[in-house]
Structure 1
Amino acid sequence: MDIEKIRTLIALMEESELVNLEISSDDEHISLTRHYDAPAPTMMAAPTAGAATPHTTESQPAMKAGSVETSPMVGVYYSAPSPNDPPFIKVGQKVQAGDTLGIIEAMKIMNPLEATQSGVIDEILVTNSEVVQFGQPIVRYKA
């Protein structure tokens, strides 16, 4: 089985939010299982009839302007090619579409994270060696 077929199956799992996928044929067998920490369920107390709920904008963080680059897969984000090398990007750096923003390791495969657009890096939203989820914002470009 070739690596592209495996990547296609992984993408299918992520899109469909499947936890397990098993495929067998005469000469091949592949079994994929996603392991991730699901957020703990939270209990919300029902408001009492006489209680007023304050609505303040100070308690909710404001979304910053500018487009974001998101993770195309679940994995571990690395900001540099090796621990002794400088990071691929820094805040304030101008990048072109196709430039490497980092590496995402998934299933022991190092996948380059490439910029999909040109712009100036405003904020790096993840840290080196952080586990990232599919669709999680990685960097924010200046507006």
Structure 2
Amino acid sequence: MELKDIRELIRFIDKSEIKEFEYETENGERIYISKKDDAPVFAAAPAAAYAQAPAAPAALPAAAPTAEVKDSGLKGNQVEIKTPIVGTFYEAPSPGAESFVKEGDTVKKGQTLCIVEAMKIMNEIEAEFDCKIVRKVGQNAKPVEYGEVIFIAEPL
């Protein structure tokens, strides 16, 4: 068996679902090819799932405020507003634009606090309750993790 035939066989097996292949020629040459199973298997999503994705920015409520005050530095009835998703925190709708909220602002339930970009989708994070923004913790254009504090607020 020639090298080009072996390469073609490897490509064929690589593209197929065959896990192991063993072949012995008439003159005693033996070929054994095995795929590793270490890699995770991912199923492709149907194309229809991609077609149904929203094109407009999605509005997400902020993660529920925490009632814990242990070592968090919160005063009085202050609560932490946390991001409900992983992504990049943006304090304004576009570069150079005015921030959605500033420290000291009073916001109404449903008002946009910031944007968290996740997988090229701009997700507006909305206030879940009327409150006063005490401190902005999230940093503009910096990554945030799920459940990370982005604002400290006082419910009204």
Point out 4+ residue stretches in structure 1 off by more than 4 angstroms. 25-30
Percentage of matched positions with identical amino acids: 32
Deviation at 1:27, TM superposition (A): 6.3
The residue type paired with residue 70 of structure 1 is K
Match of 1:138 among 129, 143, 150: 150
Counterpart CA distance in 1 for 2:45 and 2:148 is 35
Q: TM-score, normalised by structure 1?
A: 0.58
Is structure 2 residue 74 aligned with structure 1 residue 64? yes
Counterpart CA distance in 2 for 1:29 and 1:22 is 16
Deviation at 1:29, TM superposition (A): 9.2
Counterpart CA distance in 2 for 1:111 and 1:99 is 13
Is structure 2 residue 88 aligned with structure 1 residue 76? yes
Counterpart CA distance in 1 for 2:102 and 2:46 is 50
Counterpart CA distance in 1 for 2:85 and 2:126 is 13
Match of 1:22 among 27, 37, 42: 42
Q: Give the greater-gyration-radius structure (CA).
A: 2
The residue type paired with residue 23 of structure 1 is A
Per the alignment, residue 87 of structure 1 pairs with 99
The answer for unaligned runs of 5 or more in structure 1 is: 1-19, 31-60
Per the alignment, residue 3 of structure 1 pairs with none
Q: How do residues 1-143 of structure 1 correspond to structure 2 at under 5 angstroms?
A: 22-24=42-44, 63-65=73-75, 66-142=78-154
Cα distance change on mapping 1:29 and 1:137 into 2, 3 Å: same
Q: What RMSD in Å do the two structures reach over aligned CA positions?
A: 2.7
Q: TM-score, normalised by structure 2?
A: 0.53
Cα distance change on mapping 1:26 and 1:63 into 2, 3 Å: closer
Number of positions where the alignment pairs a residue of Structure 1 with one of Structure 2 = 95
Cα distance change on mapping 1:117 and 1:21 into 2, 3 Å: farther
The answer for unaligned runs of 5 or more in structure 2 is: 1-39, 51-70
Deviation at 1:142, TM superposition (A): 2.6
